[in-house]
Structure 1
Amino acid sequence: MSYLCPLCHSPLAAQEKSFVCPQGHQFDKAKEGYVNLLPVQHKHSRDPGDSTEMMQARRAFLDAGHYQPLRDAICQVLTCFAPEKLLDIGCGEGYYTAGFAGALTGLTGDIWGLDVSKVAIRYAAKRYSQVQFCVASSHRLPFGDSSLGAVVRIFAPCKAEELARVVKPGGVVITATPGPRHLMQLKALIYQEVLLHSQEVESLPGFVEEQTQHISWPMTLKGEEAAALLQMTPFAWRARPEVREALKAEAAFACETDFVVRVWRREG
């Protein structure tokens, strides 16, 4: 399976240092091994996605194993389906994608990681050579119709019609979203009124919800870990400087996790 050209949607042929479509559009491979399939006209900002600081915080936090139960749960689901081809949408710096690749060794073929952040993909490709990474929009997936057996989407946006297009009949989409009490203690430091996350289930036309799993566990974080957690969440934009400093000074910050993992089966 090859990528699709983001400009004309023709298949891209892999060459030694680039991908080229029949119309002559060319996309060079970076030295780390990834390819950038996000044309400037598809960008909404100069450097979309997470920044270097957010990526460094995310890698430090995830490498410490604080979200490993979530990765393990999704790996267990994937091993039951053993898809031939897997895409991780919004893969960030590759922590989850590499875990999926390890769990599916010998059970599946190619595994792709996609993110809109060039910084994130550079981090991912440099560390995890067993995965094919690309910079691309999750709303314009550079993959052919019915070409994927499974898509994983952890906190990542994607148009439902794009998922229905690229996932083959009988294939699955696995989503991970915040449960009602996710990071309540962190939110309490930032907002005067702490609201539970919505329990409304998204609509995925063309898919049937097949499984739902609730996963939660308590965390006790060192100050730097708590600050890294804040930095990798959307709450960082609302946090005052004194909140960041208070977190860094924590010896043991107690915080809840709460996730909902759903499996959606492609109809047809």
Structure 2
Amino acid sequence: MNYICPLCRSQLFDADRSLACASGHRFDFAKEGYINLLPVNKKKSKDPGDNKEMMLARRSFLDAGHYEFLSQRVGELAKEFAKDSTQVLDLGCGEGYYTQRLQQALSSDGNELSVYGLDISRAALRYAAKRYRDIRFSVASSYDMPFADASFDLMLRIYAPSKAAEMARVLKPGATLITVSPGKTHHYALKQMIYDEPRFHEVKDTALEGFETVHQENLTSVLCLPPGDMVLHFLEMTPYAWKFASTEKQQLAKTGLECELDFFVEVHRKNHDLDAS
């Protein structure tokens, strides 16, 4: 697998705890083990992506197993549609929960895997890299990935913003892309608390240029959280967190919370004849 320089797009090579290119650009590995390939001139803010507090809330929630059924289903689909994958990327990997669960699912078949995680949040990857030492994490933009063309057999994208052309560029012809997005009723109970006239989530046309959709399903459940801090962790990781006042969050933490979960899961296949150049 070849990383490419985010400044000049030439190949990066190992250079004593760093990656460097022939043009002299050098990028150091952090002490936690991740590599920062997001140049300052490509940042839209000083420290983009989710902050430390959001990361800790999400990690606590995911570690408790509340979304384990989603990661399990993703692993099953990966084994069904891309069981021979050896080069795998989790796009928008966050703290690495789904990345590591996917690695476990595919490793159970004895595959020799190289698994990569990419996220724009440095705070997230500090935790990911410290916990999952055998996964290669990089800070970078999903719209301008530091990977050579046709690098991956399988890509996972859970909620991460991206563009089809860039995903197609780094995927091999015939490679598999698994995506997860909110379904129609996802978190509807939260919307009922916030809005006078709540609406179901609009599931837009999910066709991706350069890809064929080979599977679609809705994965649904009901999240039942007893009173306690886990309610606060859950609220912190939703896009509705800022809609609740601090007193409202504390009240929900005292009473507990029940909420719909609705994940729209798709499997796409990159066209063999796509010219990603």
TM-score, normalising length from structure 1? 0.97
- Structure 2 residue aligned with 1:93, among 89, 92, 95? 95
Aligned partner of 2:130 in structure 1 is 126
Shift of 1:14: 1.6
For 2:72 and 2:216, the matched residues in 1 are separated by: 15
1:246 aligns with 2:251: yes
Match of 2:232 in 1: 227
CA distance in 2 between partners of 1:124 and 1:63 (Å): 13
Using the TM superposition, give the Cα deviation of residue 193 of structure 1 relative to its aligned residue in structure 2, in angstroms: 2.2
The answer to whether 1:23 aligns with 2:23 is yes
Counterpart-to-counterpart distance in 1, 2:86 and 2:189: 40
- CA–CA separation in structure 1 for the residues paired with 2:11 and 2:197: 50
Runs of 5+ in structure 2 lacking a partner? 273-277
- Contact 1:190 1:240 survives alignment (8 Å): no
Report the Cα offset of residue 239 of structure 1: 2.1
Residue number among 230, 236, 240 corresponding to 2:241 in the alignment: 236
Q: Does 1:33 align with 2:33?
A: yes
2:177 to 173, 178, 192: 173
SS, match of residue 249 in structure 1 = helix
Q: How many residues are aligned here?
A: 267
Contact 2:177 2:269 in 1 (8 A): yes
2:207–2:213 Cα contact (<8 Å) kept? no
Question: What SS does structure 1 have at the residue aligned with 2:240?
Answer: helix
Q: How many angstroms does 1:231 deviate by?
A: 0.4
Identity %: 45
**Residues 186, 230 of structure 1: 8 Å contact kept:** no
Report the equivalent of 2:44.
44
1:136 to 137, 140, 149: 140
Helix, strand or coil at the partner of 1:189? helix
Shift of 1:108: 4.3
Post-superposition CA distance 1:53-80 (Å, at most 9, x none): 1000000000000000000000111122
For structure 1, list consecutive stretches of 5 or more residues without a partner in the other structure. none
Contact 1:101/1:130 (8 A) holds in 2: no
Residue 211 of structure 2 corresponds to residue 202 of structure 1 = no
**Runs (4+) of structure 1 moved beyond 4 Å?**
none
One-letter identity of the residue aligned with 1:194: P
